[in-house]
Amino acid sequence: MSFLDIAGVTKSFGPNTVVHGFDLAIQKGEFVSFLGPSGCGKTTMLRMVAGFELPTAGTIRIDGEDVTHQQPNRRRIGMVFQAYALFPNLSVADNVAFGLKVAGRPKREIALRVEEMLQLIKLPHLADRYPYQLSGGQQQRVALARALAPSPRVLLLDEPLSALDAKIRLSLREEIRALQRELGITTIFVTHDQEEALSMSDRIVVMSEGRIEQCGAPFEIYNRPNNRFVAGFVGTLSLIEGVRAAGGSVTVDGSPVTLAEPSPGAAGSPVTLALRPEAVKLEPSPERVNCLRGRVEDAHFLGSVVRLRLSVAGGTILADTFNRPTSPPPVRGTVVDLFFSPHDVFALQPGATP
């Protein structure tokens, strides 16, 4: 049985339904991200798990206990928000101690736990500082320690990194994940940042308009998106229009394209093919049996790779070529052959557009 079970949860605000029949079973110790564009219902779903919002229908269970109508403070949940919601008038140590004091824990136990938590977030030397004396990253670490101090059953993180600058975000990503693993705490992480979700999660729940579009491991979501929405929202993707041919293959403006997973559908019907930029190369290889001719429209230097934008008969293709100091990228207007493997091209199912 799963540790956190969300079954058929729907939420309406007046006439607007913002979460529709949400079903999700999370295992103990799992790190699950809710990923989706602004307004898709991520925070509302998280707030229902926390108990700040009541579902219109459905149930939420934690460790077998129905908590759907339970007060937030009885659920034993820790939460960290986007804005550093530390108490400005309390020191770091008092912020971390807050939940334990409210729970009426003995003084000595609180002192030990605060010390332990500050060690865990590697800030024991800042115990007496006040929030305004901390950097954004330090404040979020303290917020994390405060959430974890009362040993919650579930940790809920609502875009905790989005107010921080890029470098701190990267290091805090790793820190949060390492801490979560060390404690084995079941965690839901809300983000609209696909890189964050891909790099941190055991599983990602991709949401759109209050519905789950796909739920799976990062590898699965990235490599085998269920539909056009997921494909467009997670990672960069080129879409080309083709026509189904006999035997499950496809033609793009007359050129045959072989797919490892043949696209079902009647011969002659239109089909949209999807390709990741890293799968398209300018050199052939025994694997890369598909070839389309393209014209270079643009070259963006990204450091380790140069991303080419090429027009082909069926659309636009992005291709990441490795940066080699000895060979500059092809100039605009050059006509090149593009090669890709049948394993790297897939037919999209119709769905919402990103």
Cβ burial of 325 (10 Å; 0-12, 13-18, 19+) is exposed
Should residue 39 be labelled a site residue for ligand ATP when binding is judged by CB under 6 A?
yes
Should residue 13 be labelled a site residue for ligand ATP when binding is judged by CB under 6 A?
yes
Q: Which two tokens stand for residue 206?
A: 């991709």
Q: Is 158 or 320 the residue whose CB approaches ligand ATP more closely? A: 158
Should residue 35 be labelled a site residue for ligand ATP when binding is judged by CB under 6 A?
no
Q: Which two tokens stand for residue 125?
A: 């030397």
| CB 10, min distance to ligand ATP, A | 12
Should residue 270 be labelled a site residue for ligand ATP when binding is judged by CB under 6 A?
no
| CB 251, min distance to ligand ATP, A | 40
| CB 47, min distance to ligand ATP, A | 7
Between 170 and 199, how does the x/- string for binding to ligand ATP read (CB under 6 A)?
----------------------x-------
Among 36, 27, 19, 22, CA closest to 3: 27
Binds ligand ATP (CB under 6 A): choice among 18, 144, 308, 347 = 18
Should residue 36 be labelled a site residue for ligand ATP when binding is judged by CB under 6 A?
yes
Cα–Cα distance for residue pair 4/63, rounded to 1 Å:
6
| CB 134, min distance to ligand ATP, A | 25
Q: Is 14 or 325 the residue whose CB approaches ligand ATP more closely? A: 14
Binds ligand ATP (CB under 6 A): choice among 22, 30, 33, 43 = 43
Should residue 160 be labelled a site residue for ligand ATP when binding is judged by CB under 6 A?
no
In sequence order, the 6+-apart residues with CB closer than 8 A to the CB of 271 are: 241, 242, 243, 244, 250, 263, 265, 347
Q: Are 203 and 34 in contact (CB under 8 A)?
A: no
DSSP per residue, 266-327? -TT-EEEEEE-GGG-BSS--SS--EEEEEEEEEEEE-SSEEEEEEEETTEEEEEEEE-BTTB
Should residue 206 be labelled a site residue for ligand ATP when binding is judged by CB under 6 A?
no
Binds ligand ATP (CB under 6 A): choice among 6, 22, 42, 86 = 42
Query: Nearest 10 degrees: CA dihedral of 160, 40, 225, 317?
Result: -90
Q: Which residues bind ligand ATP (CB under 6 A)?
A: 13, 18, 36, 38-44, 192
